[in-house]
Chains A and B, each alone.
Chain A
Amino acid sequence: MRSVTLPPDTPVARRLLSAMQVVHWRNTAVLIVLLVGAVLMLLPFFWMFATSMRPAGEAYQLPPSFLPDDIRLDSYHELFASPVPFLRMYWNSFVVAAVTTIGVIITSAMAAFAFSRTRFPGKNLLFASMLLGLMVPPALLLIPLFFGMASVGIVDSIWALILPAMTNPLAVFMMRQFMRSQPREYEESAFVDGASYWTIFWRISLPQMGPPIAALSIIVFTSSWNNFLLPLVFVRSFEAMTLPVGILSLESSFGGAALSIIMAAVTVAVLPLFVVFLIAQRFIIESIASTGVKK
C-alpha cells in the first residue's frame, strides 16, 4: 500500500497554516485595539448614566465608585419638577435641530445639483468663494449676525438659531462630491425623456442621495443639537432657550447638588442623537445596496 503524506506535514500546508495563524493573530490584535477604543469611547457615557442614578451626595464621593451604591431616580424627578423648563428647552432643541437639518439638506442638495449638473458662467468661482466661507471663524460672524437678526426682530426666538444655520458650505461640498461621483446618465436620460431640471432634481437625483443625506443628517442634527454659541448670544429667555445653554442654567438653580441632575439632563439630552444615528445608519446601508447602474 502507498503511504500518503497528511496535508499538515507537507511544506506547503505548513506554510499555509502559519500564514493563517499570522492572519488570525493580526485580527486578534486589531480586535483588542478596537475594544480598548470602544471602552474609552463608552466610559464617559457610562459615567454620565451611572452618576444620574446616584443620590446627590454619592456623586461627589471620594474615591468615586464605579457602579452606584444605591440606584435612585431622584435626579430625574427633580429635573422635571425644577423651575427650569427642561421639557420646553428640549422641544426647542428638537425643533431647531430638525428644521435646521431639513433646511440644510434641501439647500445643500439644490446647490450641489446646480454646481455639479448645470453649466453657468462663473460656476467654479462661485463654488470656490462659497468654500472660502469655511475659513471664516464662526465667532467673527456673531456680531454682524446679531445686528442682522436684531434688524429683522428675531433675536430671542428660535429663528435666530435656525436661519443662520440654514446654509452650510461643508454640506454643499459633501453633496456635490457625491453627486459628481454618480453617473451623469441618470440626469441625461431624464433630460432626453423631457424632464425639467426641477423634475430631474426632485425625482431622479435627490432620491439617490441617501448616503450623503444620512451622513449630513447626523452631522447637522448633532452640531445643531450641541450648538452652544448661538443660543448663548442670540437667546435670553427660556421660551427660546435650547438644551446646551439651558443645562448650564441647572447648575445655578441647584447649586452643589446639581451634578446628578445635570447628568440626568444630559442622559435625556443624548437620546435623540442615538435615535438619529440609528435611523440614518440603516438608511446608509439601504442606499448603498440598491443601484440602477451596472458597474
Chain B
Amino acid sequence: MSTLQLRGIRKSFSNLEVIHGVDLDVDEGEFMVLVGPSGCGKSTMLRMIAGLETISNGELLINGTVVNDDPPVKRGIAMVFQNYALYPNMTVRQNMAFGLQQAKVPRQEIRRMVDEAARTLKIEQLLNRRPGQLSGGQSQRVAIGRAIVRNPGIFLFDEPLSNLDAELRVHMRVELSRLHSRLGKTMIYVTHDQVEAMTMADRIAVIHGGRVEQVGSPLDLYNKPANLFVAGFIGSPRMNMMAGPITSTSDGARLNVFSQAIPVPRSVNVAGLSEATVGIRPEHLEVVDTEDGDVTAVVTLSEQLGDETLIYCSPQDTEATWVIKRLGQYFIKAGARVGIRIPWNRAHVFDSQSGRAIWRAEKLASSERD
C-alpha cells in the first residue's frame, strides 16, 4: 500500500497554466475520487501522478519520496484508461501478461499471476479471446485485471465507467468498491459523475478550473459545501440558489430574499458584503398551498421518476428555475401556482462575489431562537 502527496503542483502547456498549485494528501488504502466538470484538469492531474505528463512546478511524493522525474514504472502505479486501451493484437492473457513481461518476471510466475488475477475478476473464460471479441463490461474487467496483476501500490482510474451503459455502470461501480475493500489498495479515481464520486469514494476532491475547491467525505461535501461551486456540483438535482442584498439595521445585518429579511447571526462577519446567495437542496423544499408558502411559484414541468417526483418551478415570478424533489408519485400540472415553504434551518448561505460559504443555517435557526 502507498501514500501520495501533491505539494503545490502546477502544470502549464506553453504559457497557459491549467493546474494552479494543487495540494492533496491521499492516505494508505484510501479511495480518493477527483471529481469535476469537463476541462477542469482532473485527468491532467491523474496523468501527472501516472508520469504521463511532466510536472511544471511543485512536488509529487509517493510513500514520502519525490517522484517528479521517475518514469511511470518506477512509481508503483497501474492505470485503467477510459477506453480500456487493451492491445487489439494480443489476447486477454497476453494483455495481462504484458506488464509482467516488461518487469522480466519468469514465465511460469507470469502464468500463475495472470490466472490468479483472472480468477479474482472471474474472467478465466476470456483469457484466449482478443479485445475485439469482448463486450464493454468484459473489456472493463480485463483492463482492471491488467492493472491488478502487477500488484501496484496505487491504482489510477481515468473515468473507467463512462463508456458503459447505465445498468452495467451501476454493476461495475459495486464491483470496483468490492475490489477496493478486498485489495485494500490506494485508489485514485477520476470522474465527472458525482453519483460515482458519492457512492465509491472514501474522500472526494472537487476540482474546478485547475484548483481543488474542497476535499472531504461524500457527506461532508454534501452537507457542508465550502463554496457555491461545490454546492452546485455535488447533489443531483443541483442545489437551488437565490441571491439577495444584505442590509444593516439597528438590530444587526439582514439578508433579504423573497421579501423576507433573515437575521444574520452576529458571529458571522458580513462586513463589506453587499449581496449573499441562499442555497437550498431540492429535497428540503416543500410544496404547499399558495397562502401557506414562504414564496409562490409557477410550476413549469414535473418529472415522474416512479419513486420520486421532480417539480420544476419559477419562484416569485422570476426567471430562475428551482427544482423540488418529492418522494412518491405527485401529480401537478404545468402552469399551476403553488406555495413553497423554505426551511431556513436547512439553507446554506454564500458570499455572492467570492462564492465562499458564510454560514449554514442551523446556526441561523439557533440564532433566531436566541
Contacts and interface: CB of A to CB of B under 8 A. Distances in A.
Interface stretch (A31-39, A93-101, A155-163, A188-196): A188-196
A67 B99 CA distance: 64
A146 B136 CA distance: 57
A194 B103 CA distance: 7
Most buried by A among B73, B81, B132, B150: B81
B111 to A, nearest CB: 17
Which size class do A's interface residues fall under?
Answer: 20 to 34
A204 B84 contact: no
A208 B103 contact: no
Contact of A192 (B52, B83, B103): B52
B102 interface: yes
Interface string B70-93: 011100011101111111110000
B21 interface: no
Contacts of B150: 193
B349 to A, nearest CB: 44
| Chain A binding surface SS class | helix
A125 B349 CA distance: 55
Contact of A293 (B51, B79, B84): B84
Contacts of A295: 83
B20 interface: no
A291 interface: yes
A185 B102 contact: no
B341 interface: no
B222 interface: no
A193 B163 contact: no
Nearest to B163: A294
B296 interface: no
Interface string B115-143: 00000000000000011100010010000
B139 A190 contact: no
Nearest to A194: B73
Which size class do B's interface residues fall under?
Answer: 20 to 34
B229 interface: no
Nearest to A192: B72
Given A192-B51, A192-B72, A192-B79, A292 B99 contact: no
B330 interface: no
B73 A189 contact: no
Most buried by A among B73, B85, B130: B85
Interface in A254-281: none
A207 interface: yes
A65 interface: no
A147 to B, nearest CB: 44
Interface in B48-107: 50-52, 71-73, 77-79, 81-89, 98-99, 102-103
Contacts of A195: 98, 102
Interface in B162-207: 163
B75 to A, nearest CB: 9
Contact of A292 (B50, B84, B163): B84
Most buried by B among A183, A192, A208, A295: A192
Contact of A290 (B88, B139, B146): B88
Most buried by B among A188, A190, A204, A294: A294
A177 interface: no
A192 B87 contact: no
A188 B88 CA distance: 14
9 contacts: A192-B50, A192-B79, A192-B99, A193-B73, A195-B102, A199-B102, A291-B132, A292-B132, A294-B83
Interface of B: 50-52, 71-73, 77-79, 81-89, 98-99, 102-103, 130-132, 136, 139, 146, 150, 163
